[in-house]
Chains A and B, each alone.
Chain A
């Protein structure tokens, strides 16, 4: 470097002539909140006397949940025939609701695992609630296949357990893969959620004033002491569980889509299903996260830790995945036309213009058109509107599963066996009640467990950096 200037270690000369743009990182915690403020805020939710809104919503949620109880009781005492399932549609609301709820759960794992691996620090504020949502959504999902087996007291035959018939599950069936995928998903999500919560449970324990509170949180916190020797193993385990949950969450909805794709029904037998189902699941899940977090943020005044930056990011993910879903709808049509397969072509034309066209167009307007509004900053900043758009997304995603399941079965190869499927009142009761069941669990979580991961939120605060000045 013959021409290297003598002051080469100094500021490059070019910087004196140009005006480099300052691109500050978005703040994750507003108003320079300290560690103690975060502890007070999160523990305060658990420690305050039960608020009135909680009591009212809890009773309402229990009432709604009783509809599932009533629906299932009637089903078990009478028989699966009370659901609207009959030839040719043997998979109606049961699988629609199952796929809907499992899909909701996926955003929780995306936030806790995939965004952790991608080092997206904004995930920390919403991580815990989203994971709780995952677990409760999978519980709601499980109800449908469990009772769809007919004699629910034999549902354990789905698991590889010795039974009096001396036979075993049949592993060539995608439904059996589903048993493994969903039960693994539930177990691993619960372990991940609980392990992440242990340090925060310790923090609540350390502040507990009453003996029962102390006892309750001591048992749950397992004697966590927050020593760095513990944190070292904890952080490694957290990273590994994130690494394990990532292929897991992608596999779960892939296997759910195999339930359809492995069959040879027109409209189901496509290779696009796994990625398309995963994108749809994340899409609906994020909509549910916002549906839950926006009211909680307002009630508990969490504006400093869940700020516009977090909401913007979630809206943008909904926009991106919604667009992917729209693209998948278009691809399905193209492939159907390009395949030259008359049945495949008919299946898609029938979806858009056949007897279920109303459901198809509800799906397209809610899933493809509504999320496009999130291109606009003004709309992302209007939280009531964001909340309403998210409800539309969830309605749309339910209809997507309805369209896929029902249109293909109702009008398949043989016109003589075509039919029109409608749910019965028992179907409606059972599904409606799951929203209550979900809310009961979520309200209990909000009331008794740390809503935000305190340790993780503190970790992303600027003052947590040991080299900060």
Chain B
């Protein structure tokens, strides 16, 4: 780390193919990097392992949503048809877990889907419309056919010149410094 890195976000390097970026990512992982990412136009199969990423935490939020939904469905039907305004319909019980089951079922799915959808965006820190990467001309092509590894300046391994050379040694094509 040195003082000059204050205004630098990191170093970006482009790769030509999924295979090139995949093998480069394995080497970055083995070098002990923590703050870095691989930008690709589509999810590359096995990249999570190549980057050494832990399993996504989205399922926890899905479960939380699903449990909330089921409880909401139970409470909703019980409160409305049995507690707040008990209504006799065909001599059936005011509340039972059977007849409102479709409602509980749909609430479970609805809330689990909310948990998944919003959970994904929260975990991905989105929406975020301003990011140093968007100023990089090469970055626009990573949603088309270019693959890019970005090493961030906040990583303890980061040193401008060394990191540049490291990326070159991995077979990178075009190296750019990203300013904040």
**Contact present for A459 and B120 (CB under 8 Å):** no
How distant is the Cα of A315 from the Cα of B19 in the complex, in angstroms?
A: 36
Q: Say if the beta carbon of A237 comes within 8 Å of chain B.
A: yes
Taking a contact as CB atoms closer than 8 A, the residue among B87, B110, B139, B144 that contacts A187 in the complex is: B110
Which B residues are CB-close (under 8 A) to A188?
109-110, 113
| A228-B40, A251-B105 as given contacts; A465 in contact with B45, CB under 8 Å | yes
| A172-B99, A207-B140, A455-B43 as given contacts; A465 in contact with B18, CB under 8 Å | yes
Closest approach, in angstroms, between the C-beta of A322 and any C-beta of chain B?
28
Q: Say if the beta carbon of A168 comes within 8 Å of chain B.
A: yes
**Contact present for A237 and B106 (CB under 8 Å):** no
Which B residues are CB-close (under 8 A) to A192?
113
Q: Say if the beta carbon of B31 comes within 8 Å of chain A.
A: no
| A222-B127, A234-B120, A237-B116 as given contacts; A248 in contact with B41, CB under 8 Å | no
Subset of 6 A-B contacts with CB under 8 Å: A170-B89, A206-B142, A224-B126, A226-B40, A464-B45, A466-B19
Taking a contact as CB atoms closer than 8 A, the residue among A174, A187, A464 that contacts B44 in the complex is: A464
Q: Say if the beta carbon of A416 comes within 8 Å of chain B.
A: no
**Contact present for A240 and B58 (CB under 8 Å):** yes
Q: Which of A3-11, A34-42, A298-306 contacts B (4 or more CB under 8 A)?
A: A34-42
Which A residues are CB-close (under 8 A) to B58?
233, 236-237, 240
How distant is the Cα of A249 from the Cα of B36 in the complex, in angstroms?
A: 39
Number of chain A residues whose Cβ lies closer than 8 Å to a Cβ of chain B: 67
**Contact present for B127 and A206 (CB under 8 Å):** no
In the complex, besides A188-B110, A247-B109, A463-B17, 17 extra interface pairs with C-beta distance below 8 angstroms are A39-B145, A167-B87, A168-B80, A169-B80, A172-B99, A180-B106, A184-B110, A191-B117, A206-B143, A225-B39, A227-B39, A228-B43, A228-B53, A234-B43, A248-B109, A459-B42, A463-B18
Q: Say if the beta carbon of B77 comes within 8 Å of chain A.
A: yes
Q: Say if the beta carbon of A458 comes within 8 Å of chain B.
A: yes
Q: Say if the beta carbon of B4 comes within 8 Å of chain A.
A: no
Q: Say if the beta carbon of A223 comes within 8 Å of chain B.
A: yes
**Contact present for A227 and B144 (CB under 8 Å):** no
Taking a contact as CB atoms closer than 8 A, the residue among B37, B120, B141 that contacts A228 in the complex is: B37
How distant is the Cα of A228 from the Cα of B56 in the complex, in angstroms?
A: 11
**Contact present for A171 and B103 (CB under 8 Å):** yes
Q: Say if the beta carbon of B11 comes within 8 Å of chain A.
A: no
Q: Kindly state the interface size class of chain B when it binds its partner.
A: 35 or more
Residues of B123-165 contacting chain A, CB below 8 A: 123-124, 126-131, 133-134, 139-145, 150
Q: Closest chain B residue to A457 by CB distance?
A: B42
How distant is the Cα of A228 from the Cα of B38 in the complex, in angstroms?
A: 5
Taking a contact as CB atoms closer than 8 A, the residue among B40, B76, B150 that contacts A231 in the complex is: B40
| A36-B145, A236-B56 as given contacts; A203 in contact with B38, CB under 8 Å | no
Q: Say if the beta carbon of B51 comes within 8 Å of chain A.
A: yes
1/0 contact string of A427-469 vs chain B (CB within 8 Å): 0000000000000000000000000001110110001111110
**Contact present for B129 and A218 (CB under 8 Å):** yes
Q: Say if the beta carbon of B84 comes within 8 Å of chain A.
A: yes
How distant is the Cα of A237 from the Cα of B118 in the complex, in angstroms?
A: 10
Which B residues are CB-close (under 8 A) to A169?
80
Q: Closest chain A residue to B57 by CB distance?
A: A233
How distant is the Cα of A251 from the Cα of B104 in the complex, in angstroms?
A: 12
